[in-house]
Amino acid sequence: MKDRYNISLLLLLLFVATLVGCGGGGGGGEQPTTVQYTLTTQYVDKDGHALSNKIVNGVDAFLFVNNLFYQSVSPGTDGKYVVSFDSGDQASLVVLGNVANDSLHVVAPAVGDNIDNVSVKLSPVTRSAVSGAFSPTYLFYGRFDYTSANKGSASLASISLYNQHARLHVVVNNLQARYGTGNYTLKLEGFRNGITFTGKVSGDSVVYTPGGSFDGSGNYVSEAVSTLPTMTGEYVTLTVYKDGNQLMRSGTDSGGNKVTLAAEDDKALVVNASGGGITLQVVPWADYIQAHVEY
């Protein structure tokens, strides 16, 4: 009888131990579960105002788990993205929206690539107005991040995509009055050709040589250059040439401030080449147009 009691007790203890080993006790910890998110996208300007979804032709989405590339994600017929991952993981969905499909070189990273080491680059081209790289009219970037800290939150989320491109114009006043007639050209430096999947400007250096012409007031006005913002710690440098010879070069305005571009900037570098000296001002392009409109 005693032997039967001992066997029953042993079986009970083994049963309890099995429960503990499977996570039923306090020692095993909570087991990860699969989390599924349905994500929508919206295009907004830097002030958060919504833009039309029709502004973008091509959209690419990339899922990273624990900062390592996992897979590309295609939207459903409703335009939504559905992603799944373990609740204990850190997950990020990076979405890129592009207007001109031929202006970006988008290649899906290899499985296991670190998010800090991959980027999308502007397609290299050479043309009369711009050399080095062709920048899209718009390049939208957005990112959704999930960590175990926000586990239990709603499984629906929206990703705001912000435009990452900027535009720059050059206006040189009194050019012919000071230097006479000739073949005038411009060079703009201080740009990069890529943006990382973490949203930082990166890549190789790009030089733009926009064309230009004299307006009715004798000001030399360049074509607009569409580009990525300047990289952190870098700035724009303008060089003006006549018949291939350098006339002036500057990377700071009249107050000694370096010229930089942020996302969605549309600026004009206004150079006054009068006989008293050369000055450079940075103004919003809209303000320059308003001040020089002819009624």
Q: What is the pLDDT of residues 118-129, one digit of tens each?
A: 988 877 654 434
DSSP 22: I
Task: Name the amino acid, one letter, at 225.
Answer: V
- Residue 3, pLDDT score: 52
Alpha helices by DSSP H, the chain = 2-19, 175-179, 285-292
Chain length of the chain: 295
Pairing mode of beta strands 166-173, 266-274: parallel
DSSP assignment of 44-61, as one string? E-TT--EE-GGG-SEEEE
What tokens does 10 get?
């042993």
CA distance 288 to 267: 9
- Residue 293, pLDDT score: 59
Q: What is the pLDDT of residues 78-96, one digit of tens each?
A: 889 999 988 889 999 999 8
- Residue 169, pLDDT score: 95
Q: What is the pLDDT of residues 135-190, one digit of tens each?
A: 556 788 999 999 776 555 558 889 999 988 899 999 999 999 899 999 999 999 99
Q: What is the pLDDT of residues 262-290, one digit of tens each?
A: 999 999 999 998 766 788 999 999 999 88
| pLDDT top residue among 108 and 198 | 198
| pLDDT top residue among 241 and 56 | 241
| pLDDT top residue among 2 and 229 | 229
Place of tokens 């899906």: 108
Q: Which of 22-26, 130-134, 210-214 has the highest mean pLDDT?
A: 210-214
| pLDDT top residue among 58 and 160 | 160
- Give which of 206, 205, 201, 220 is closest to 268, Cα–Cα: 220
Burial class (CB in 10 A: 0-12, 13-18, 19+), 251: middle
CA distance 266 to 36: 40
| pLDDT top residue among 288 and 16 | 288
CA distance 248 to 242: 10
Contact residues for 147 (Cβ-Cβ < 8 A; gap 6+): 90
Residue 89 CB coordination number (10 Å): 15
- Residue 171, pLDDT score: 96
CA distance 60 to 44: 17
Domains of the chain and any CATH numbers: 34-99+137-163 (2.60.40.2100), 166-292 (2.60.40.2630)
- Residue 99, pLDDT score: 56
pLDDT higher than threshold 50 for residue 18: no
CA distance 178 to 39: 59
- Give which of 225, 58, 230, 204 is closest to 122, Cα–Cα: 204
Q: Which pLDDT band holds residue 38 (cuts at 50, 70, 90)?
A: very high
149-156 — which CB contacts under 8 Å span 24+ positions?
Answer: 151/35, 151/87, 155/35, 155/36, 155/37, 155/38, 156/37, 156/38, 156/39, 156/40
The values of phi and psi at residue 42, to 5°, are -140, 140
pLDDT higher than threshold 50 for residue 295: no
